[in-house]
């Protein structure tokens, strides 16, 4: 009977399933059939372990003997994986009495049973001259085997814990792919236990993303997850959000360019209300609308651990500005926020500026490529007077007129924390640039280090003023679109 079971093991050991390693040398790929076909597994733990050792001796290409230990450990612990996909490891252990009897037989069996025919001659020779062995030596041999077995169990529990988790994750993922009828991503299988996983532009789609989310739910290795541009859609985004509700190890996620839309935003909002480990979240290019902002706004108020949020390249409008403006005023965790390349009009940006005025945590804000106008610039200037936390501000490409630059200059005349200001590609003209530069001259406590007037031409008067300001602020760097008039040169 044992020979029959050995033959079954041999079949599992050497057969290569469809889609597995084409060389058939990787033990983990050759054995996952055992995991997916529990009805065919009738061998015991010790038989498997002994057979693995035997095969490792005879077939050098099977080089991962620790995998055998891992597999046995999983069986010993009766590891049960996600029931949602009905992945149940085979229960190959018989009742405790039968297992104990089998273990005793294994300890007393000949070396040929374990090490193969090559050692049979050595065993027979030893038996021929072995009559001289004393009972004490035999007891010592048995005691040594027992201690060795106990040490092996200890090493198995401590040293192979990560491999057990790795195997479990791979099995779950393969079964999920089978159920959802999608091709597994080999890069994920190889890197699912690294600290950073990057799967950009893989075209996962909704089903592929769902399959990926299943093993990630219990993954404890990955800290940074990049799934940019996989067109996962609303359902795929919901799968990732559900995974992040359970996962407490991932701290940074990039879901940009995935067409998440409003339903995806709702799922992410629900996740943010309960997740307290996520620090960075990139959601640019997902066709978010004002409705998406309605979902995300309350989550930003309750969540205090998220520090970096990117909502650029979406379709956020006036209502989004109002909603997010209130959320920003109440939020105490965000350090950086990007709303660049949206459709937020003047009135919505006024509400955002009012939110910035009351915010106590944001260090960097990008509002470029929206529509501030003069009214929005006036509200932002007032925010700069009262906010002493913000360090970086980008309001380039916002149709800010010269009058708006005057309002911003009024805020800079008081502000002590702004280090970087980008107001380039706005129609503020030389007059607006002069007003902003003059505000620095009147504020000895200013921290401004970089002033960006890209694509805005200045005159000689501006150059002279810049030289005077440099005497006070030697670290100040000003970039503009060039000088017109008698003196013509580009300054950067």
Cα torsion angle, 375, 377, 382, 386, sign = positive
| Tens-place pLDDT, residues 16-72 | 333 333 333 344 444 444 444 444 444 444 444 454 555 443 333 334 445 455 555
Contacts of 165 (CB under 8 A, 6+ apart): 193, 220, 221
- C-alpha–C-alpha distance, residues 329 and 326, integer Å: 5
437 lies in which domain range?
A: 316-492
Residue 188 and residue 61 share a domain: no
Query: Quick check: is 308 in a domain?
Result: no
Q: Which of 299, 328, 343 is the last residue of a domain?
A: 299
Q: Which of 251, 268, 299 is the last residue of a domain?
A: 299
Question: pLDDT higher for 486 or 376?
Answer: 376
What pLDDT does 209 receive? 98
Residue 81 and residue 204 share a domain: no
pTM for the full predicted model = 0.71
Query: Quick check: is 310 in a domain?
Result: no
Query: Quick check: is 170 in a domain?
Result: no
Over the chain, what is the mean pLDDT? 78
Q: Which residue blocks in 228-317 are alpha helix, DSSP H?
A: 233-246, 261-274, 290-302
| Tens-place pLDDT, residues 384-443 | 999 999 999 999 999 999 999 999 999 999 999 999 999 999 999 999 999 999 999 999
Residue 394 and residue 356 share a domain: yes
Residue 350 and residue 458 share a domain: yes
Q: 450 - beta bridge partners?
A: 420, 477
Query: Do 276 and 247 form a contact (C-beta atoms < 8 A)?
Result: no
With residue 30 as reference, give the H or E element that holds it: helix 27-36
Residue 85 and residue 21 share a domain: yes
Work out how many domains the chain is built from and give that number: 3
What CATH number corresponds to the domain at position 271? 3.80.10.10
- C-alpha–C-alpha distance, residues 201 and 227, integer Å: 8
Residue 407 and residue 294 share a domain: no
Residue 68 and residue 108 share a domain: yes
Residue 283 and residue 396 share a domain: no
DSSP character at residue 83: G
Residue 217 and residue 191 share a domain: yes
| Tens-place pLDDT, residues 303-327 | 999 999 999 999 999 999 999 999 9
Q: Which of 237, 271, 299 is the last residue of a domain?
A: 299
Report helix, strand or coil for 311: coil
Contacts of 441 (CB under 8 A, 6+ apart): 465, 468, 469, 472
Residue 350 and residue 285 share a domain: no
Residue 331, phi-psi category: left (phi > 0), alpha (psi -120 to 50), beta (remainder)? beta
Cα atoms found within 13 Å of the Cα of residue 347, Cβ hemisphere only? 5
| Tens-place pLDDT, residues 172-198 | 999 999 999 999 999 999 998 899 999
What pLDDT does 159 receive? 46
Backbone φ and ψ of 421, nearest 5°: -135, 120
Residue 125 and residue 197 share a domain: no
């Amino acid at each position: 009977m044992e020979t029959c079971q050995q033959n079954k093991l041999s079949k599992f050991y050497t057969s290569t399933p469809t889609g597995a390693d084409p060389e058939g040398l990787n033990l983990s790929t050759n054995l996952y059939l055992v995991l997916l076909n529990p009805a065919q597994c009738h061998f015991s733990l010790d038989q498997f372990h002994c057979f693995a050792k035997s095969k490792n001796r005879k077939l050098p290409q099977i080089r991962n003997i620790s995998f055998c230990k891992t597999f046995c450990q999983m069986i010993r612990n009766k590891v049960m994986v996600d029931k949602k996909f009905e992945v149940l490891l085979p229960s190959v252990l018989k009742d405790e009495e039968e297992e104990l009897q089998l273990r005793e037989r294994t300890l007393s069996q000949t070396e040929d049973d374990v090490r193969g025919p090559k050692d049979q001659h050595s065993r027979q020779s030893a038996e021929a001259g072995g009559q001289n062995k004393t009972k004490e030596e035999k007891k010592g041999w048995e005691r040594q085997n027992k201690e060795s077995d106990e040490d092996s169990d200890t090493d198995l529990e401590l040293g192979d814990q990560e491999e057990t988790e790795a195997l479990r994750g791979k099995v779950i993922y393969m079964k999920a792919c089978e159920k959802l009828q999608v091709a597994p991503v080999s890069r994920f299988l190889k890197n699912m236990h690294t600290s950073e996983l990057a799967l950009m532009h893989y075209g996962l789609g909704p089903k592929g993303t769902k399959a990926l989310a299943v093993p990630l739910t219990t993954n404890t290795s990955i800290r940074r997850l990049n799934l940019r541009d996989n067109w996962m859609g609303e359902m795929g985004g919901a799968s990732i959000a559900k995974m992040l509700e359970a996962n407490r190890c991932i701290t940074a996620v990039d879901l940009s360019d995935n067409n998440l839309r409003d339903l995806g935003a709702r799922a992410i909002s629900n996740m943010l209300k309960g997740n307290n480990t996520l620090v960075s979240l990139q959601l640019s290019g997902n066709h978010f609308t004002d409705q998406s902002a309605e979902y995300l706004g309350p989550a930003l108020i309750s969540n205090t651990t998220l520090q970096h949020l990117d909502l650029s390249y979406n379709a956020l409008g006036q209502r989004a500005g109002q909603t997010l403006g209130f959320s920003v005023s109440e939020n105490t965790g965000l350090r950086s926020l990007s709303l660049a390349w949206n459709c937020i009009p003047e009135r919505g940006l006024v509400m955002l500026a009012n939110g910035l005025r009351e915010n106590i945590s944001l260090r960097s804000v990008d509002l470029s490529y929206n529509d501030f106008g003069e009214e929005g610039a006036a509200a932002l200037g007032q925010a700069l007077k009262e906010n002493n936390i913000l360090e970086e501000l980008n309001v380039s490409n916002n149709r800010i007129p010269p009058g708006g630059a005057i309002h911003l200059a009024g805020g800079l005349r008081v502000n002590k924390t702004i280090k970087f200001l980008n107001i380039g590609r706005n129609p503020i003209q030389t007059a607006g640039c002069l007003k902003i530069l003059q505000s620095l001259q009147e504020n000895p406590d200013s921290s401004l280090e970089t002033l960006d007037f890209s694509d805005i031409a200045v005159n000689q008067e501006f150059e002279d003023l810049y030289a005077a300001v440099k005497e006070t602020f030697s670290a100040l760097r000003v970039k503009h679109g060039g000088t017109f008039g008698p003196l013509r040169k580009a300054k950067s």
